[in-house]
Copies of this chain bind each other. A is one copy, B any other.
Amino acid sequence: MPRIKLIIAYDGSGFEGYQIQPKGRTVQGELEQALSVIHKGEAVRVHASGRTDAGVHASGQVVHFDTPLGIPDGRWAMALNTRLPGAIRVLSAETVPDSFHARFSATGKTYRYIWHLSDVISPFRRYFTTPSLGVKPDVSRMEEGARHLVGTHDFTSFCSAKTDVEDKVRTVESIRFERHGEELHMVISGSGFLYNMVRIIAGTLWMCGKGELDPGDLPGILAAKDRSRAGKTAQAQGLYLENVRYGQ
């Protein structure tokens, strides 16, 4: 059966996260419902590169599903978008080999974290950015902190204490900061990320920017392998899954 890879974007603010669950509106639930309509009521399972939490957005999430329908690649986006809520958009579709798996074939991801630096929370960006609440961060301190995190490290201190994977060694390939008008963006790429890792990195670097944490403390925080040593988990609404990489 042909396998279809989709690149999708979603506004996570109205969802209980990506992953389907017994109660509450989810991105996966909406996708599977739209696919079920196209498949005349047949259930279609969708596999994503990974879940995203409630309120977290995606500008380039990747999912796949198998289908017996011979819909050409160029028609899938329109077929799904007419059946999906405006909060979820299919950006592109492509037939891929059976060996492709949205999660297991992924070789890297890029996330974007956005703070809004105005004194008053923007009504237009309140679900799409994290307010700085008057803080004007020193971005050079955030960049200095980020340099200690880039590379291959055990990120135990930077993942939720609930994380149950054994191996917490991950490679962060790059962290860069961009200023867009009143917004500060952090763009982070890596081979893979642990649960809440991007939000804890964002929260910790924010503390460096605010002057509450010395960037030079980050090697010690990594070495401690203790979640309580890093900063607070930054709010969900500032986070975007931007890109999933496959192959080299």
Contact = CB atoms under 8 A, between A and B. Distances in A.
Interface in A107-132: 120-124, 126, 128
Interface string A14-33: 00000000000000000000
Nearest to A78: B120
Contacts of A120: 9, 77, 81, 89-91
A89 B11 contact: no
A10 B87 contact: no
B86 A124 contact: no
A126 to B, nearest CB: 5
A11 B121 contact: no
The 10 lowest CB-CB distance pairs between A and B, nearest first, are A11-B123, A89-B120, A86-B126, A87-B123, A89-B123, A9-B123, A10-B123, A124-B128, A11-B124, A91-B120
Given A11-B126, A87-B123, A89-B122, 20 more contacts: A9-B120, A9-B122, A9-B123, A9-B124, A10-B123, A11-B123, A11-B124, A57-B123, A59-B124, A77-B120, A81-B120, A86-B121, A86-B126, A88-B123, A89-B120, A89-B121, A89-B123, A90-B120, A91-B120, A124-B128
Interface of A: 9-11, 57, 59, 77, 81, 86-91, 120-124, 126, 128
